């Protein structure tokens, strides 16, 4: 189920439910990994707005029971398009089955690689990554991180700019954001350095927007 199909499923579910669509997040990591930066941002956004997190398929959420349990404990309401009526117990069972399937696939892959190695096949990536290539990769990674941060803070950047136009310092702005319950994309409290960074990296806005509180 490709990204386009997943997005179509989510759009159809949101339209059918009569809800208001907010934003799409995606991860390039495999579903069996617990390090899901895109999902973490989506959870933080949903928690901040008291919104429902919608995913296309339950097995794309995570193939790890503990991860699903932690998501439930975060108090963020979520629903899977392929199983919208599922309750907590059902989701646990589906996650457990998916985790078992992922483990079986991993074991079969290890066996196949071992057999290939026994036949004399050379495994692993070729050592073609030069120092220049490594530096280029680092630059691309840094650019991606910066772009993701700019996109994430697009909703709050105009408010920060408006506070700054009022003459408030970075620390004062951070205190206002914290008092309003806003968090950074890592789920932490704002500080002066973070506020300054958002102002420096945010694209220029035509007109500052008023502060948006979660409904």
Q: What is the CATH number of the domain that holds 81?
A: 3.40.50.1390
Which of the four pLDDT bands, split at 50, 70 and 90, describes residue 191? very high
In a domain, 195, yes or no: yes
Same domain for 10 and 77, yes or no, is yes
Pick from 3, 29, 21, 49: which is nearest to 213 by CA? 49
Encoded tokens for 144: 């991606």
- Which residue, 27, 58, 90, sits at the end of a domain? 90
Mean pLDDT of the residues in the chain: 76
In a domain, 208, yes or no: no
Segment 87-119, tens digit of pLDDT: 777 777 777 777 777 778 778 888 888 887 888
Contacts of residue 70, Cβ cutoff 8 Å, sequence gap at least 6: none
pLDDT of 133 strictly over 80: no
Same domain for 85 and 17, yes or no, is yes
35-38 long-range contacts, Cβ below 8 Å, gap at least 24? 36/62, 37/148
In a domain, 105, yes or no: no
Same domain for 25 and 79, yes or no, is yes
Pick from 148, 130, 134: which is nearest to 184 by CA? 148
In a domain, 60, yes or no: yes
Same domain for 11 and 79, yes or no, is yes
In a domain, 107, yes or no: no
- Which residue, 90, 117, 145, sits at the end of a domain? 90
In a domain, 9, yes or no: yes
Per-residue pLDDT, averaged over 167-196, amounts to 88
Pick from 75, 1, 77, 62: which is nearest to 29 by CA? 62
Domain containing residue 167: 131-201
- Number of structural domains the chain divides into: 2
Residue 129 has a CB neighbour count (10 Å cut-off) of 11
Which of the four pLDDT bands, split at 50, 70 and 90, describes residue 172? very high
Segment 40-82, tens digit of pLDDT: 788 888 888 888 888 888 766 656 666 677 677 778 888 888 8
CA 110 to the chain's CA centroid = 29
More confident call, 43 vs 37 = 43
Pick from 72, 69, 27: which is nearest to 53 by CA? 72
Per-residue pLDDT, averaged over 117-137, amounts to 66
Residue 44 has a CB neighbour count (10 Å cut-off) of 19
Q: Give the chain's end-to-end CA distance (angstroms, integer).
A: 33
Tally DSSP H helices, then E strands, for the chain. 9, 2
Please spell the DSSP secondary structure of 137-182, one letter per residue.
HHHHHHHHHHHHHHHHGGGTHHHHHHHHHTT--HHHHHHHHHHTT-
In a domain, 148, yes or no: yes
Per-residue pLDDT, averaged over 189-205, amounts to 83
- pLDDT value at residue 175: 92
- pLDDT value at residue 76: 84
In a domain, 110, yes or no: no
- pLDDT value at residue 212: 42
Per-residue pLDDT, averaged over 192-215, amounts to 64
Which of the four pLDDT bands, split at 50, 70 and 90, describes residue 210? very low
- Which residue, 90, 121, 155, sits at the end of a domain? 90
- pLDDT value at residue 173: 92
pLDDT of 214 strictly over 50: no
**Where do the H-state alpha helices sit in 36-169?**
37-49, 58-61, 65-73, 88-118, 131-152, 157-165
Same domain for 156 and 86, yes or no, is no
More confident call, 178 vs 151 = 178
- pLDDT value at residue 35: 60
- pLDDT value at residue 170: 93
| Total-model pTM | 0.45
Residues 74, 43: contact at Cβ < 8 Å?
Answer: yes
CA 44/CA 185 separation, integer angstroms = 7
Share of the chain above pLDDT 70, in %: 76
Encoded tokens for 78: 């979520």
């Amino acid at each position: 189920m490709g990204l386009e199909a997943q997005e179509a499923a989510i759009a159809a579910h949101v339209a059918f439910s009569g809800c208001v669509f907010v934003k799409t997040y995606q991860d390039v990591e495999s579903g069996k990994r617990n390090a899901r930066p895109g999902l973490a941002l989506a959870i933080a956004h949903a928690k901040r707005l008291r919104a429902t997190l919608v995913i296309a398929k339950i097995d794309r959420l995570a193939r790890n029971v503990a991860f699903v349990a932690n998501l439930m404990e975060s108090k963020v309401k979520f629903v899977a398009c392929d199983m919208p009526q599922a309750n907590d117990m059902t989701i646990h069972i589906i996650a457990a089955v998916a985790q078992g399937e992922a483990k079986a696939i991993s074991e079969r892959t290890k066996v196949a690689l071992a057999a290939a190695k026994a036949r004399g096949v050379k495994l692993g990536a070729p050592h073609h990554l030069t120092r220049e290539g490594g530096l280029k990769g680092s630059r691309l990674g840094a650019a991606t991180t910066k772009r993701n941060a700019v996109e994430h803070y697009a909703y709050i950047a105009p408010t920060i700019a408006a506070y700054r136009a009022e003459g408030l310092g970075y620390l004062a702005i951070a205190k206002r954001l914290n008092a309003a319950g806003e968090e950074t994309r890592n789920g932490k409290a704002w500080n002066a350095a973070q506020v300054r960074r958002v102002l420096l990296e945010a694209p220029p806005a035509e007109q500052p927007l008023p502060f948006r509180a979660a409904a």
